[in-house]
């Protein structure tokens, strides 16, 4: 791959951290633009030792900043967002302005030759029609503010005529220097490790999952195959990881012996995700996510076990 200048908005996030390292590792120059809203400076600070890494502190809603930063890059991954339905319900103004309006700013300041890859969510499939088997022709009908604003971002990019590759991501799992414990996969492993029990609702709901390193590989694939993928949306998940929440909890309990799984009525998913997603379209352009759920549980178990050893409040 030719060495290029990559701008990653939200580069200090869960996915952004892994993408930043992947593209630096490939020899590219990477700029991370982030407002560090979760005080995650320590996750990216070690990268300052790499002369190909640059950090820009700022907000993707700042048009002047975007005018300055976007044009000097060959590639833009627009990851910055308020992520997940619960976080979005708590911050409706930020959700609309970051997840949707900043995409319009990006679109207005970028040139036609710049490659853009945008991560939408597959959250909207099947929710109103009740369709269980979903592919890219299935209407996206999100019900949460998060899903609505991310899908609006996809529309802005695909309809502008400048071209972009959109990924409709499955629920992501795996270790990142900036972990997200609010992701249900990670939450189940954490519950099992810290309490010996997993309490979950909507056990019969099927979701599609994908490993964070497979997402990074998918972004590399989009850049390497940009001309054949531009202007299209692709599901990015693992076909082997369409699984019910109950079966996922049972897999976690097998990996962490002694864990008891309880189902209750509480804490419903705001996007009511219950569908089986096909990743065939992406396979047809040459990419397949292949890390397994079991690999992910093992990796996350080992990572979170380290985290749980951390107790800064005792000297003895």
Ligand X SMILES: NC(=O)c1ccc[n+]([C@@H]2O[C@H](COP(=O)([O-])OP(=O)(O)OC[C@H]3O[C@@H](n4cnc5c(N)ncnc54)[C@H](O)[C@@H]3O)[C@@H](O)[C@H]2O)c1
Residues near ligand X (CB under 6 A) are 9-10, 12-16, 34-38, 40, 59-61, 79-81, 83, 98, 119, 121, 150, 169, 171-172, 178, 180, 183
Nearer to ligand X, 59 or 197 (CB): 59
What is the spatial distance between Cα 77 and Cα 115, in angstroms, rounded to a whole number?
9
The minimum distance between CB 314 and ligand X, in angstroms, equals: 30
As measured in angstroms, the least distance from the Cβ of 285 to ligand X is: 19
Cβ distance to ligand X smaller for residue 61 or 283: 61
Q: How far is the CB of 163 from ligand X (least distance, A)?
A: 19
Specify the residue, 169 or 289, whose C-beta has the smaller distance to ligand X. Answer: 169
Least separation, in Å, of the C-beta of 257 and ligand X?
27
Closest separation between CB of residue 62 and ligand X, Å?
A: 8
d(CA 225, CA 205) in angstroms, rounded, equals 34
Q: Could you tell me the smallest distance in angstroms from the CB atom of residue 276 to ligand X?
A: 17
Nearest-approach distance from CB 259 to ligand X, in angstroms: 23
- Give the residue with the Cβ less far from ligand X, 91 or 246: 91
Beta carbon nearer to ligand X, 83 or 252: 83
Instruction: Report d(CA 226, CA 169) in Å as an integer.
Output: 18
- Choose between 13 and 163: whose C-beta lies nearer to ligand X: 13
Q: Identify which of 117, 252, 279 has the alpha carbon closest to the alpha carbon of residue 198.
A: 252
Q: Which is nearer to ligand X, 9 or 114 (CB)?
A: 9
């Amino acid at each position: 791959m030719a060495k290029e200048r990559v701008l990653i908005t939200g580069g200090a996030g869960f996915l952004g951290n892994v993408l930043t390292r992947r593209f630096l590792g490939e020899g590219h120059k990477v700029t991370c633009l982030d407002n560090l809203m979760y005080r995650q400076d320590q996750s990216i600070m070690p990268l300052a030792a790499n002369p190909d890494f640059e950090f820009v502190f700022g907000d993707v809603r700042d048009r002047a900043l975007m005018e300055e930063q976007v044009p000097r890059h060959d590639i833009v991954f627009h990851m910055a967002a308020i992520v997940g339905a619960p976080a979005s319900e708590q911050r409706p103004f930020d959700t609309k302005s970051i997840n949707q309006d900043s995409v319009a700013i990006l679109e207005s300041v970028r040139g036609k030759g710049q490659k853009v890859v945008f991560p939408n969510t597959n959250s909207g499939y099947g929710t109103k029609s009740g369709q269980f088997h979903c592919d890219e022709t299935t209407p996206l009908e999100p019900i949460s503010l998060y899903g609505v604003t991310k899908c609006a971002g996809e529309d802005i990019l695909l309809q502008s005529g400048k071209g972009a590759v959109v990924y409709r991501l499955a629920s992501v799992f795996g270790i990142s220097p900036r972990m997200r414990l609010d992701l249900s996969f990670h939450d189940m492993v954490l519950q099992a490790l810290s309490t010996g029990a997993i309490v979950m609702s909507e056990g019969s709901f099927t979701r599609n999952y994908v490993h964070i390193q497979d997402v990074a590989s998918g972004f590399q694939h989009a850049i390497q195959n940009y001309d054949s993928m531009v202007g299209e949306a692709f599901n990015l998940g693992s076909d082997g990881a369409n699984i019910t929440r109950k079966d996922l909890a049972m897999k976690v309990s097998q990996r962490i012996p002694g864990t008891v799984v309880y189902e209750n009525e509480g804490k419903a998913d705001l996007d009511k995700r219950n569908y089986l997603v096909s990743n065939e379209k992406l396979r047809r352009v040459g990419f397949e996510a292949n890390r397994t759920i079991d690999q992910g549980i093992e990796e996350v178990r080992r990572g979170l076990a380290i985290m749980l050893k951390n107790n800064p409040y005792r000297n003895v």
